Amino acid sequence: MKDLSNKRVAALLSGGVDSSVAVALLVEQGVRPDLWYIQIGPDRDQTDFTCTIEEDLEMARAVAYKYGLPLQVIDLHKDYWEKVVDYTMSRVRAGLTPNPDVMCNRLIKFGVFDERVGKDYDIIATGHYATTEEEVVEVSGNDNGNGNENHSSAATNLSTIKEGNNSSTCQLVNSSTRQLTWLCTSPDPVKDQTDFLAQLQPWQLQKACFPIGHLPKAEVRAIAEREHLLAAHRKDSQGICFLGKIDYNNYIRKFLGEQPGQVIDRKTGRVLGMHRGLWFHTIGQRKGLGFGGGPWYVVEKDMERNILWVVNGYDPIESYSDHFRITAPHWLTIDPFCYAMSPSNAPSPTLSMTIKIRHTPDFCPAEVRLLPNGDLDIHTERPLQGVAPGQFGVLYDTQKHRCYGSGELRIGEFN
Question: Where among 199, 233, 267 does a domain terminate?
Answer: 233
Spell out, as residue ranges, where the chain has pLDDT lower than 50: 141-174, 414-415
- Pair 113, 198 in one domain: yes
Strand 123-125, strand 9-12: pairing: parallel
Catalytic residue chosen out of the listed positions 184, 241, 338, 403: 241
**Residue 136 host element (H or E):** strand 131-138
Question: Where among 143, 163, 182 does a domain terminate?
Answer: 182
Domain containing residue 306: CATH number:
2.30.30.280
In a domain, 248, yes or no: no
Query: Which pLDDT does position 148 carry in this prediction?
Result: 40
- Pair 196, 278 in one domain: no
**Residue 224 host element (H or E):** helix 217-226
In a domain, 160, yes or no: yes
Residues of the domain holding 110: 9-130+190-233
Catalytic residue chosen out of the listed positions 104, 184, 209, 338: 104
- Pair 124, 140 in one domain: no
**46 Cβ partners below 8 Å, 6+ apart?**
254
- Pair 217, 106 in one domain: yes
- Pair 119, 264 in one domain: no
- Pair 226, 80 in one domain: yes
| pLDDT tens digits, one per residue of 359-399 | 999 999 999 999 999 999 999 999 999 999 999 999 999 99
- Pair 273, 304 in one domain: yes
Query: Which pLDDT does position 197 carry in this prediction?
Result: 98
Question: Where among 295, 314, 333 does a domain terminate?
Answer: 314
pTM given for the model = 0.86
- Pair 89, 205 in one domain: yes
In a domain, 252, yes or no: no
Query: Which pLDDT does position 236 carry in this prediction?
Result: 80
Residue (of 317, 339, 343) closest to 395 by Cα position: 339
104 is catalytic: yes
- The helices-and-strands tally (H runs, E runs) of the chain is 10, 19
| pLDDT tens digits, one per residue of 262-304 | 999 999 999 999 999 999 999 999 888 888 888 999 999 999 9
Query: Which pLDDT does position 366 carry in this prediction?
Result: 98
Looking at the 3D structure of the chain, how many domains does it have? 4
Cα-to-chain-centroid distance, residue 192: 10
- Pair 87, 138 in one domain: no
Domain containing residue 336: CATH number:
2.40.30.10
- Pair 270, 298 in one domain: yes
- Pair 263, 175 in one domain: no
In a domain, 245, yes or no: no
- Pair 45, 117 in one domain: yes
Query: Which pLDDT does position 403 carry in this prediction?
Result: 98
In a domain, 395, yes or no: yes
Query: Which pLDDT does position 14 carry in this prediction?
Result: 92
